Amino acid sequence: MNGVIILDKPAGFTSFDAVAVMRGLAREKKIGHTGTLDPMATGVLPLLIGRAAKAADLLPDTDKEYMAGFRLGERFDTGDVTGKIIETSHARASEGELLRALERFRGDIMQTPPMYSAVSVGGQRLYKLARQGIEIEREPRPVHIGRLELVSFDEKEQRGTLAVACSKGTYIRALIEDIARAAGTLGVMTALRRTKACGFTVRAAVTLEDLRALSAEGRLSAVLRPVETLFGDYPTVQVSPAQAARFCNGGGLDMGRLKMPKIAVTEGQRFCVFGPGGGFLGLAKVRLEKNELGFLKLFAIE
């Protein structure tokens, strides 16, 4: 079995838990995923099965989208309600103050990763230090917030929901804390649902219950998507039998001998390579100096 299954991850499961379940259902050891979701989070988790597992390090850096619940007036050690309260505030924020605070966090910003994260500093994972009660200085990192909207807010309860579209590596927990601080109070994430990742929305996702039922019926292939759907934004090129053989053996492809799409190409630009019969072969990248599509990754042999 080779391809992609879009899982709607339930709460209480780690991403590794989801992979472990899928290995049993698909009877396939080579299974990966495209981006970790915390146990409390739900939503889109693309699972890479068989040869598709090779794609984990090659995915386009597309924005991920979330719906995030928050509560003001408290700060937790983990940044979410799975942890312990470490600070409270009687300061209350109005909807107007929140909206003004949001304006400061749209576009390119610098974000300090939380202590409870998998970021490595000096060879040590931050979350391991945090569990020992150790807090260290962390360098802020650039992230991009493409969309940040206040979906709802109850001023009396000081609770609300944010819609966020952001770049890879953005911590929604830290974003909520920073927004609350900018509004003059404290904040904690109460819920998180990823609604889009790798170009797939939650409408395309299937639950673990669905997958178990399909597996029992021998119909998992009904929700298996081709590997190339992960690279839907890449331009494509179809090659001849001889070119396919060369590519499958790691050789580059002379762009002067290919039916290239009518686009301006740039150094390092990635292409999806398809064989003469239309099957997906793999990925190539532009090498302008050699005027070729250089071999990048093989996914199948036609």
Task: Say which residues have a Cβ less than 8 Å from residue 133's Cβ, sequence separation at least 6.
Answer: none
Phi, psi of 151, deg, nearest 5:
-75, -40
**Residue 269 neighbours by CB distance under 10 Å:** 16
Give which of 171, 221, 174, 230 is closest to 197, Cα–Cα. 230
Catalytic residue among 8, 17, 38, 108: 38
Euclidean distance between CA atoms 281 and 283, whole angstroms: 7
Instruction: Reduce the secondary structure of 139-208 to three states and give it as a string.
Output: CCEEEEEEEEEEEEEECCCCEEEEEEEECCCCCHHHHHHHHHHHCCCCEEEEEEEEEEECCEEHHHCECH
End-to-end CA distance of the chain: 16
Answer yes or no: 38 catalytic.
yes
DSSP string covering 50-79: GGGGGGGGT---PPEEEEEEEEESEEETTS
Q: Which residues are catalytic?
A: 38
